[in-house]
Every structure is written in structure tokens, then in C-alpha cells.
């Protein structure tokens, strides 16, 4: 049976283990944005033993590069980008305390192992529902890498961001299970 | 000879770039509404509900449907009796993209150098496919194309012996392995024949056709129907969460080929299958 959760970041390991693939989540609190280029910089900093521009412990990263903010709006359209491109970097961030990732499309290999080992979860947002998702974002601040434009790291305050637990910390995978159920 | 001002081309492309990103065309909108009715999976239905609500917000508030407002891809048919005046054609096109993407608050996603990077800052250059045709009209299709679906596209230089079954296998496997990444329900453009680059061009051009249109040759109309069924039977469903609607349409375009070659290309378009058209 799919459960419905209302969660607020930061997320503890105790919360993470209760989330099962297929559950729906309304997420509130702070999430940080990062995509390809920002991930590379974060992982390089970790390798050099330097301090990161954002906290990781208990945090959630949203894979998004928003459209420019039109006058009178908090943020432009801001839907998820495809997550597999962050797979080379995600395990390092999870080892350093990251508890949640938001994106679209399946994760594989090391990321899944790392989620199981350290207790992290992967949430799917609806790709292409970018104007709708922007309504869940109530404050935005660029906190690092402004030179990357749309790819800069932003601190977002979100309220009731609609998500699905796509892959959980026990190996549950909504893509595999869902597709199997509807294939003919 | 009919004269068309370069500035008129710039203005038209600026307007179409914005409209394409804010408003789904009727064919796509209606197809998504029908998909919502037909989808059996609860997760898939919820995704389609969000997609339809998003479309409404984007249209009303003039916000991009998707934050990835894409590469500006244009198909242009220029009458051979058209004379562009007051500037050159390519500069006019890029000026239109620059204006549309800047004034319309659309994302600039173009890196000037593919390896060394550096954002061009205005989403230029456009990618233009130009044909010279009879007449004195200028027909412009603006097709903003996102990276997520483009990345899942494939081309195969198959053996002629692979035949029709090979085509079906390749298209179906491409959609299955793409899973949720190209933002299903997708539109699948299939190119068969031609050369390596012509085949890829055909697959892209197939995406211009309105959903609901069929290939003029009944043999390929039947193939489109069968491919749509096979693709939907993968069970990938909306956003890959599992469901009965994986594709809204499969469009096939063909060209003569070399006796030794059998190229097949699959170009996928996300559910925000943006396309706008104007004739000057």
C-alpha cells in the first residue's frame, strides 16, 4: 500500500528508512539546487579536503536549472532535469551526509548501493511540470557558483513540493516495479 | 520576386520562440487530455494531471512549460521567388532567437564550445534546416527541443537483412531503454533510409507532424500504428513510473537508401512537444 508523507528537511536516517518506492511525498523546507557543473565542483572540493559552500548532512539536492525569473515572480519555471548525469558524483555526496535527491529518471549502479549503505532516498518530480512546480517555491537565493548561470547553486525554500519516492533506501524501485505491472 | 524584410523574420521567430514555450499546440494538448482519460496506472494518471495543470498555468501566466526551453531548432521552407532584404537571413534568424529567449525569460542553454563550454548568453546559434521550394512564401517551423529527450535519441546503421522486424525491434528497445528519461508520454520520430545524416534529419522532421496525422503511404500508416502499440506495450508509462501511455504518437518518415545501407533513427520528443508555425 502506497503511503502519503508530509516531510520537512532536514531528513534523518530514521525518516528515510520509512519511505518506500511508490509513496507520495509533500516536501517542505530548504532544498539546494545543483546540476552537472556544480556537482563536479562540489566533488572536486571534497577530494581536495576543502569546505563546501552548502551543508550536506540531512539535506536534499534538487537537480534543476530554472528558467530566468520574470518580473513579479519568485522564480521562473523550475522542473527536474534527468538524474543519471549526476550518477558519477552522487555517491560521494551521499557518503558526506546527503539524504535526498530530486530529479527525473532512474538511478543505477553505485548510487543505488550508496543509498542503501548510507540511508538516502531518490525522489522523482514530474519532468516538464516546471511552471506548476515553481508554485511550490517560496524563496530563492543564489549561494554559490553564480558564474554558472542556470546551473548556479540556489537555496530554495519549498512548501508541499509534490514528489514520489522513486527509489528507496532498501533497493525498492518504482520504475522497475511500475513498468513490469503495465507491460504486455 | 517578392521581398521579405529581415526584420519581419526576426520578429516572427522571436514571437514563435515565446509562444512555443508558453502554449502547447492544440494537437498536443488534446492528445494529453485523451491520455489522462485512458491511463490505467494511478501514478501515471497523477503525472498526466500535473502535466495538464502545468499547461494551464504556463498558458495563463506566460511561463515556460518546461524550464528547458531547448535549442532553437527551425525548419524553414523558402520559396525560390523570395528575396530577403534589409539584412542577411541567418543573422535575422539568430536575432529572432536572441530577442525571443531574452524578452521571454526563456533559459539560455547553449554552450559556445562543446568541450570547453562558455554559455553564449542568448541561446544562439539556432539550428536551421533550410529547403528551397517553389513559390514566393517563407514557411517557418520553430521547434524548441530539450536536452532530456534529445539525449535518448539513437541511430543505427542496420544491415538490409534486418528488415522491417529490425526496425520494430530498434524502435521498441530505444523507447524501453530510454525509460522515464525523455519525459514520457513522448512523441517518437522515426527516420528510415537515406544516408547517416539524412536519416537523423527525417526522424527530427517527423516530430513536426501534428499528432493524429498519418503517413501518406498506407504501408507506413500501418507501421506507425503497430509501432505505437509496441511502444505502449513496454509499460514505461508517464515519466517512466509504469502505465499504458508511453507515447502519444509514432511518426515515420522515409527516404531512398543505398543498396548496402539501412539506417534507422529514433528522435524522441518529450510530452511538452513544442512546435509553432508561421507563413510569411
Tens digits of residue pLDDT in B38-65: 999 999 999 999 999 999 999 999 999 9
Q: Where are the beta strands (DSSP E) in chain B?
A: 2-5, 71-79, 82-85, 111-113, 117-119, 127-133, 138-145, 154-158, 186-194, 247-257, 262-269, 276-279
User: What percentage of chain B has pLDDT greater than the value 70?
Assistant: 100
Is residue B253 pLDDT above 70, yes or no? yes
pLDDT of residue A112: 97
Q: What is the mean pLDDT of chain B?
A: 97
Architecture of domain B148-273: 2-Layer Sandwich (3.30)
Residues of chain B contacting A128 with CB distance shorter than 8 Å? 51, 54, 65-66, 183, 270-272
Q: How many CB atoms lie within 10 A of CB B37?
A: 9
Strand A137-144 versus strand B111-113 pairing type: unpaired
User: What percentage of chain A has pLDDT greater than the value 90?
Assistant: 96
Optimal mutation site among B40, B146, B175, B180, interface A, most CBs of chain A within 10 A: B180
Optimal mutation site among B42, B63, B110, interface A, most CBs of chain A within 10 A: B63
Q: What is the pLDDT of residues A102-152, one digit of tens each?
A: 999 999 989 999 999 999 999 999 999 999 999 999 999 999 999 988 899
Residue of B nearest to A70 (CA): B105
ipTM score of complex: 0.94
B179 and A105 within 8 Å at the Cβ level: the answer is yes
Give B105 to chain A, closest Cα distance, Å: 5
B41 and A178 within 8 Å at the Cβ level: the answer is yes
Q: What is the pLDDT of residues B3-22, one digit of tens each?
A: 999 999 999 999 999 999 99
How many angstroms separate the CA atoms of A173 and A167, rounded? 5
pLDDT of residue A2: 80
- Confidence class for position B262, pLDDT limits 50, 70, 90: very high
Q: What is the pLDDT of residues B121-167, one digit of tens each?
A: 999 999 999 999 999 999 999 999 999 999 999 999 999 999 999 99
Is residue A49 pLDDT above 80, yes or no? yes
pLDDT of residue A149: 87
Average pLDDT, integer, range A38-58: 96
Q: What is the mean pLDDT of chain A?
A: 96
> Is residue B44 within 8 Å of residue B245, measured between CB atoms?
yes
The CA–CA distances, whole Å, from B109 to A76, A107, B45, B76, B99 equal 15, 24, 30, 22, 15
How many angstroms separate the CA atoms of A40 and A22, rounded? 30
Residues of chain A contacting B69 with CB distance shorter than 8 Å? 67
The residues of A annotated as belonging to the active site are 39
How many angstroms separate the CA atoms of B63 and B19, rounded? 10
Q: Provide the residue ranges of all domains of chain B, joining segments of one domain with +.
A: 2-20+65-145, 148-273
Give B158 to chain A, closest Cα distance, Å: 27
Is residue A1 pLDDT above 60, yes or no? no
Q: Residue A9 contacts by C-beta under 8 Å, 6 or more apart in sequence?
A: A27, A28, A29, A30, A31, A58, A59, A60, A100
Contact map slice: B 44-83 vs A, CB within 8 A = 44, 46-47, 50-51, 53-54, 57-58, 61-69
pLDDT of residue A88: 96
Strand B71-79 versus strand B127-133 pairing type: parallel
Amino acid at each position: 500500500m502506497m503511503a502519503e508523507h508530509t516531510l520537512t528537511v532536514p531528513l534523518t536516517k530514521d525518516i528515510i528508512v520509512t519511505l518506500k518506492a511508490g509513496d507520495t511525498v509533500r516536501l517542505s523546507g530548504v532544498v539546494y539546487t545543483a546540476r552537472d557543473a556544480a556537482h563536479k565542483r562540489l566533488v572536486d572540493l571534497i577530494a581536495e579536503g576543502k569546505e563546501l559552500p552548502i551543508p550536506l548532512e540531512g539535506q536534499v539536492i534538487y537537480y534543476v536549472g530554472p528558467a530566468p525569473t520574470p518580473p513579479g515572480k519568485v522564480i521562473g519555471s523550475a522542473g527536474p532535469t534527468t538524474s543519471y548525469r549526476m550518477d558519477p558524483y552522487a555517491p560521494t555526496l551521499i557518503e558526506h551526509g546527503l539524504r535526498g535527491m530530486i530529479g527525473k529518471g532512474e538511478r543505477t549502479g553505485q548510487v543505488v548501493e550508496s543509498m542503501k549503505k548510507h540511508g538516502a532516498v531518490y525522489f522523482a518530480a514530474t519532468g516538464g511540470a516546471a511552471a506548476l512546480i515553481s508554485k511550490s517555491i517560496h524563496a530563492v537565493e543564489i549561494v554559490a557558483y553564480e558564474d554558472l548561470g542556470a546551473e548556479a547553486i540556489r537555496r530554495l525554500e519549498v512548501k508541499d513540493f509534490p514528489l514520489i519516492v522513486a527509489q528507496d533506501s532498501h533497493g525498492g524501485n518504482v520504475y522497475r516495479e511500475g513498468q513490469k505491472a503495465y507491460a504486455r | 520576386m517578392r521581398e521579405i524584410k529581415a526584420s519581419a523574420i526576426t520578429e516572427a521567430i522571436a514571437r514563435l520562440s515565446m509562444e512555443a514555450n508558453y502554449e502547447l499546440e492544440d494537437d498536443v494538448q488534446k492528445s494529453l487530455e485523451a491520455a489522462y482519460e485512458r491511463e490505467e496506472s494511478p501514478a501515471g494518471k497523477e503525472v498526466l494531471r500535473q502535466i495538464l495543470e502545468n499547461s494551464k498555468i504556463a498558458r495563463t501566466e506566460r511561463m515556460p512549460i518546461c524550464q528547458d526551453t531547448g535549442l532553437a531548432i527551425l525548419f524553414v521552407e523558402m520559396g525560390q521567388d523570395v528575396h530577403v532584404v534589409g539584412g542577411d537571413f541567418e543573422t535575422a534568424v539568430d536575432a529572432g532567437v536572441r530577442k525571443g529567449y531574452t524578452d521571454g525569460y526563456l533559459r539560455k542553454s547553449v554552450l559556445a564550445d562543446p568541450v570547453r563550454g562558455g554559455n553564449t548568453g542568448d541561446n544562439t546559434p539556432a539550428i536551421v534546416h533550410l529547403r528551397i521550394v517553389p513559390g514566393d512564401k517563407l514557411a517557418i517551423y520553430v521547434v524548441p527541443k530539450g536536452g532530456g529527450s534529445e539525449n535518448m535519441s539513437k541511430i543505427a546503421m542496420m544491415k538490409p537483412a534486418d528488415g522491417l522486424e529490425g526496425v520494430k525491434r530498434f524502435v521498441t528497445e530505444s523507447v524501453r531503454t530510454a525509460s522515464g528519461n525523455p519525459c514520457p508520454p513522448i512523441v517518437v520520430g522515426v527516420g528510415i533510409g537515406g544516408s547517416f545524416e539524412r536519416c537523423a534529419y527525417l526522424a527530427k522532421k517527423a516530430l513536426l507532424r501534428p499528432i493524429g496525422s498519418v503517413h501518406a503511404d498506407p504501408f507506413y500508416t500501418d507501421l506507425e500504428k503497430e509501432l505505437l502499440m509496441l511502444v505502449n506495450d513496454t509499460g514505461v508509462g508517464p515519466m517512466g513510473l509504469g502505465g499504458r501511455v508511453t507515447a502519444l504518437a509514432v511518426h515515420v518518415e522515409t527516404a531512398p537508401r543505398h543498396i548496402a545501407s539501412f539506417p534507422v533513427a529514433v528522435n524522441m520528443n518529450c510530452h511538452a512537444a513544442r512546435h509553432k508555425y508561421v507563413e510569411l
